[in-house]
Amino acid sequence: MSRTAVIAAGGVVAGLILIPVIGFFPALLVLIGVPVVAYLMLDPSQRRRLRRISRKEIGR
- Give, as one character, the DSSP assignment of residue 60: -
Pure H helices in the chain: 3-22, 24-40, 44-52, 55-58
**Are 27 and 18 a contacting pair, CB within 8 Å?**
yes
Per-residue model confidence as pLDDT tens digits over 21-30? 888 888 888 7
State the burial class of residue 56 (Cβ atoms within 10 Å of its Cβ: 0-12, 13-18, 19+): exposed
Find the range with the poorest average confidence among 9-13, 24-28, 43-47: 9-13
Q: pLDDT band for 59, please (50, 70, 90 cuts).
A: low
Is the Cα torsion angle 8, 12, 14, 18 positive or negative in sign?
positive
